Structure 1
Amino acid sequence: MNNSLVEWAMRVAEAELRASLPRRWAHIQGVAGRAGEIGSALGKDSALLVSAATLHDVGYAPRLATTGFHPLDGARFLRDEHGADERLVRLVANHSFALLEAEERGLREELTTEFPLLEQPLLVDALVYCDMTTTPDGGRTTAQDRVAEILSRYGADSLVGRFIRQAKPDILAAVGRVEAALANQPR
Structure 2
Amino acid sequence: MTIAARAEMLADQLVAPLGRRWSHVQAVAARAREVAAAVSEDEVETLVAAAWLHDIGYSDQIGHTRFHPLDGARFLRAQGWPAAIVNLVAHHSGARFEAEERGMSGELGEFPFVDSPVLDALVLADLTTGPSGERLSYDERIFEILQRYPESDPVHRTWIKAAPILKEAVERAELRIATASS
Does residue 79 in structure 1 map to residue 74 in structure 2?
no
Counterpart of 1:185 in structure 2 is 180
Counterpart of 2:60 in structure 1 is 62
2-side partners of 1:99 and 1:176: how far apart? 19
1-side partners of 2:36 and 2:148: how far apart? 30
Counterpart of 2:94 in structure 1 is 97
Do the aligned residues in 2 keep the contact of 1:64 with 1:73 (CA within 8 Å)?
A: yes
Counterpart of 1:41 in structure 2 is 38
DSSP 3-state at the match of 1:59: helix
Identical amino acids, percent of aligned pairs: 44
1-side partners of 2:94 and 2:84: how far apart? 16
Q: How many angstroms does 1:118 deviate by?
A: 2.1
When normalised by structure 2's length, the TM-score is 0.96
Do the aligned residues in 1 keep the contact of 2:38 with 2:117 (CA within 8 Å)?
A: no
Structure 2 matches for 1:162-173, cutoff 5 A? Answer: 162-173=157-168
Q: How many angstroms does 1:139 deviate by?
A: 1.5
Instruction: Pick closer, same or farther for the CA change 1:101–1:110 going to 2, 3 Å.
Output: same
Do the aligned residues in 2 keep the contact of 1:57 with 1:70 (CA within 8 Å)?
A: yes
Counterpart of 2:27 in structure 1 is 30
1:124-158 CA-partner distances (Å, limit 9, x unpaired): 11111100000111121011010110111112331
Structure 2 matches for 1:14-25, cutoff 5 A? Answer: 14-19=12-17, 21-25=18-22
DSSP 3-state at the match of 1:18: helix
Select the residue among 119, 128, 131 that pairs with 1:133: 128
Superposition CA RMSD, Å: 1.1
Instruction: Pick closer, same or farther for the CA change 1:41–1:176 going to 2, 3 Å.
Output: closer
Amino acid paired to 2:132: D
Count of paired positions: 181
Do the aligned residues in 2 keep the contact of 1:56 with 1:95 (CA within 8 Å)?
A: yes
- Structure 2's unaligned 5+ residue stretches are none
Return structure 1 stretches of 4+ with deviation > 4 angstroms.
none
When normalised by structure 1's length, the TM-score is 0.93
Counterpart of 2:113 in structure 1 is 117
Counterpart of 1:150 in structure 2 is 145
DSSP 3-state at the match of 2:132: coil
- Structure 1's unaligned 5+ residue stretches are none
